[in-house]
A and B are shown apart, each in its own frame.
Chain A
Amino acid sequence: DAKTTQPTSMDCAEGRAANLPCNHSTISGNEYVYWYRQIHSQGPQYIIHGLKNNETNEMASLIITEDRKSSTLILPHATLRDTAVYYCIVRVEYDYKLSFGAGTTVTVRA
C-alpha cells in the first residue's frame, strides 16, 4: 500500500532550484519522511530525512508542512548530475523497512 504520492516526472532547468513535492496524508506521529534518489545503474542514495522540523544538509533541504501531510525536497541549484528517480518514503523510527513507490523521474536540462 502506497503511503506517499509523488508526481511521475518533472523537468528542471540547470542552475535553478528544483522543488519536488510529496504527499503523505496518512503519516503517523512516529513516522519519518525520507528522500532517496537513484541515478541510472546505481543503488539508491540517501539524501535527507526529517520528522517534523525542516532539515538542510549539503545536498538538499526538506520542508515538512505543519500538519506533516506533505513535504517538499529542494535541490537548491540543480545540475545535470541530479537527473535521477527521487523517492519519498515514510518509515517508523523502529522499523528499518523501506517501502519504495514509483518515485519522481527528475530530468535536469541544460
Chain B
Amino acid sequence: SAVISQKPSRDICQRGTSLTIQCQVDSQVTMMFWYRQQPGQSLTLIATANQGSEATYESGFVIDKFPISRPNLTFSTLTVSNMSPEDSSIYLCSVGLGQGGQPQHFGDGTRLSIL
C-alpha cells in the first residue's frame, strides 16, 4: 500500500472563503480521487484527479466549486471555493496503485467546519 498524507487535517473557516487541501503520496500512483463525507453520512466521490488534464467530476459536483489540480503522479489539491456551512464535511483523498482489481487506499481526510 501507499502512505497518503493530507494537509490540513482539520480547519475551521469563515463562510465565503476558500480552502485548498493537499494530498501527497509517497510513491507514484496512476489514479487519485477526492471524496466527501458529510456529517453522519457515507462517502461520495467528488472527482477523479487526472495527471496532466482536467479532473473528471461526478454528477452534482462542478469545477467552479471544487477545482482540482494534479501536477504530478504523487500530488493533488482540492479547493473548496466560496464555502458555506453546507460544505462542512470530511474531504478524503484516495489513490489507486495499479491496474486490474487492485484496491484504492485512503488518507485520513481533512475535517472542515464552516462558520
Contact = CB atoms under 8 A, between A and B. Distances in A.
Interface in B12-52: 31, 33, 42-45, 48
B107 A43 contact: yes
Contacts of A96: 31, 33, 48, 96, 104
Given A44-B92, A96-B96, 19 more contacts: A32-B101, A41-B108, A43-B4, A43-B94, A43-B106, A43-B108, A44-B94, A44-B106, A46-B104, A49-B103, A87-B42, A91-B101, A96-B31, A96-B33, A96-B104, A97-B45, A98-B104, A100-B43, A103-B42
A51 B107 contact: no
For chain B, the bracket of interface size reads 20 to 34
Contacts of A41: 108, 111
For chain A, the bracket of interface size reads 20 to 34
Contacts of B1: 46
